[in-house]
Amino acid sequence: MEENKGKGALEDDFLDEDEEDTQKDKFLTFRVGHEDYGIEIRHVTEIIGIQKITAVPDMPEFVKGVINLRGKVIPVLDMRRRFSLEDRDYDERTCIVVVNVAEAAVGLVVDTVNEVVDIPEERIEPAPEINKGGNNLMIQGLGKVGEEVKILLDVNKLLNGQTPEPPAGAEQAAVA
Amino acid sequence: MHDPELVEGFIADSREMIDEVEPYLIELQKSFEAEGDVDEEILNTIFRLFHSLKGAAGFLHLDNVTRVTHEAETLLNHLREGKLTLNDTQMDMIFEASDFIRKLLSSIEEKGSDEGFESEAEEIVESLRKTIAGPAGNISADEQPAASNDQPGAPPDDPSVSPVPETTDEEPVASDEQLLITPEMKKQFIEESDELLEEVEQNLLALEGGEGQGEGLAGAFRNIHSFKGNCGFFGYSELERLSHKSETVLEHMKNGAVEACGENISVLLRIVDMLRGGIADVSEGGQGRIQGCDLLLELLDDMIPAAEEEQPAEGKPIGEILVERGDATPEAVESALEIQSKPLGEILVDMGKTTPKAVEKALSQQEKQGKTKKVVRRDIRVDLDKLNELNDLVGELVTAQAMVVRNPDLKGHEFENFEKAAHHLEQISASLQDVAMSLRMIPVSGLFRKMMRLVHDLSRKAGKRVDLRMKGEETEVDKTVIEVISDPLVHIIRNSVDHGIEPPDERERAGKNPTGMVELEAKHEGGEVWITVRDDGKGLDRERILAKAIQKGLIEGDGKDMADKEIFGLIFEPGFSTAEKVTDISGRGVGMDVVRKNIDQLKGRVDVQSTAGEGTTISIRIPLTLAIIEGMLVRSGESRYLIPLLAIKESFRPKLDHVTVMPGGQEMVRVREELIPVARLSHVYRLGNGNGRLDEGLLIILENQGKSMCLFVDEILGQMETVIKGLPGFMGNIQGVSGCTILGDGEVSLILDVGGLMERAKQ
Extents of the domains making up chain B: 1-144, 159-310, 384-440, 442-623, 628-762
What DSSP line would sit under B504-527, residue for residue? Answer: HHHHHHTTS-SSEEEEEEEEEETT
Evaluate whether B75 touches B84 at the Cβ level (below 8 Å): yes
Which ipTM was obtained for this model? 0.76
The model's pTM: 0.47
pLDDT of residue B322: 63
Give percent of chain A above pLDDT 70: 73
Strands B748-752 and B639-644, bridge-based pairing: parallel
Judge whether residue B242 has pLDDT over 70.
yes
Judge whether residue B582 has pLDDT over 80.
no
Judge whether residue B310 has pLDDT over 50.
no
Evaluate whether B633 touches B743 at the Cβ level (below 8 Å): yes
Residues of chain B with Cβ-Cβ distance to A68 below 8 Å are 399, 742, 746-748
Q: How far apart are CA B28 and CA B569, in angstroms?
A: 38
Whether residue B759 lies within 8 A of chain A, CB to CB, comes out as: no
The alpha carbon dihedral of B353, B356, B358, B362 has a sign of positive
Domain boundaries defined on chain A: 10-158
Burial B192-202 (b: 16+ CB within 10 A, else e): ebeebbebbbe
Asked if A67's CB is within 8 angstroms of B748's CB, the reply is yes
pLDDT of residue B498: 83
* B162 vs B507: which has the higher pLDDT: B507
From the candidate CATH numbers 1.10.1200, 1.10.287, 1.10.3470, 3.40.50, the one assigned to the domain spanning B384-440? 1.10.287
Distance from the Cα of A9 to chain B's closest Cα (Å) equals 29
Judge whether residue B632 has pLDDT over 90.
yes
Name the pLDDT band for A112 (thresholds 50, 70, 90): very high
Q: Does domain B1-144 have CATH number 1.20.120.160?
A: yes
pLDDT of residue B688: 64
Chain B residue with minimum CA distance to A173: B731
Q: State the alpha helices, DSSP H only, in B36-87.
A: 40-59, 63-80
Cβ-based neighbours of B18, under 8 Å, separated by 6 or more? B53, B98, B101, B102, B105
Q: How far apart are CA B596 and CA B481, in angstroms?
A: 14
Residues of chain A with Cβ-Cβ distance to B737 below 8 Å are 56-57
From the candidate CATH numbers 2.40.50.180, 1.20.1200.10, 3.40.50.1110, 1.10.287.3510, the one assigned to the domain spanning A10-158? 2.40.50.180
SS3 state at B497: helix
Evaluate whether B12 touches B5 at the Cβ level (below 8 Å): no
Judge whether residue B514 has pLDDT over 80.
yes
Evaluate whether A111 touches A33 at the Cβ level (below 8 Å): yes
Please return the burial class of A167, using the count of CB atoms within 10 Å of its CB with bins 0-12, 13-18 and 19+.
middle
Write the CATH number of the domain with boundaries B442-623: 3.30.565.10
Whether residue B734 lies within 8 A of chain A, CB to CB, comes out as: yes
Name the pLDDT band for B409 (thresholds 50, 70, 90): confident
Judge whether residue A14 has pLDDT over 50.
no
Asked if A68's CB is within 8 angstroms of B742's CB, the reply is yes
Task: Give which of B536, B519, B533 is closest to B615, Cα–Cα.
Answer: B536
pLDDT digits (tens, 9 = 90+) for A116-175: 999 998 899 887 776 665 566 788 889 998 888 999 998 888 876 544 433 333 333 333
**How much is the mean pLDDT over chain A?**
78
Of B396, B687, B728, the CB nearest to A74: B728
Least confident interval from A42-51, B449-458, B618-627 = B618-627
Chain B residue with minimum CA distance to A71: B396
Whether residue A173 lies within 8 A of chain B, CB to CB, comes out as: yes
Q: How far apart are CA B559 and CA B543, in angstroms?
A: 10
pLDDT digits (tens, 9 = 90+) for B74-125: 888 887 777 777 777 778 888 888 888 888 888 888 777 777 788 888 888 8
Of A55, A71, A104, the CB nearest to B730: A104
Of A57, A71, A173, the CB nearest to B737: A57
Evaluate whether A38 touches A152 at the Cβ level (below 8 Å): yes
Give yes or no on whether B1-144 and B159-310 have one common fold: yes
Write the CATH number of the domain with boundaries B159-310: 1.20.120.160
Evaluate whether B178 touches B166 at the Cβ level (below 8 Å): no
Chain A residue with minimum CA distance to B730: A175
- Section B367-393 average pLDDT: 65
Chain A residue with minimum CA distance to B686: A57
Residues of chain B with Cβ-Cβ distance to A106 below 8 Å are 728
Name the pLDDT band for B446 (thresholds 50, 70, 90): confident
Whether residue B756 lies within 8 A of chain A, CB to CB, comes out as: no
Domain B628-762: which CATH class? mainly beta
Residues of chain B with Cβ-Cβ distance to A59 below 8 Å are 731
Least confident interval from A134-148, B158-172, B272-286, B304-318 = B158-172
SS3 state at B224: helix
**How much is the mean pLDDT over chain B?**
76
Calculate the CA dihedral of residues B497, B503, B508, B512 and round it to 10 degrees. -10
Whether residue B580 lies within 8 A of chain A, CB to CB, comes out as: no
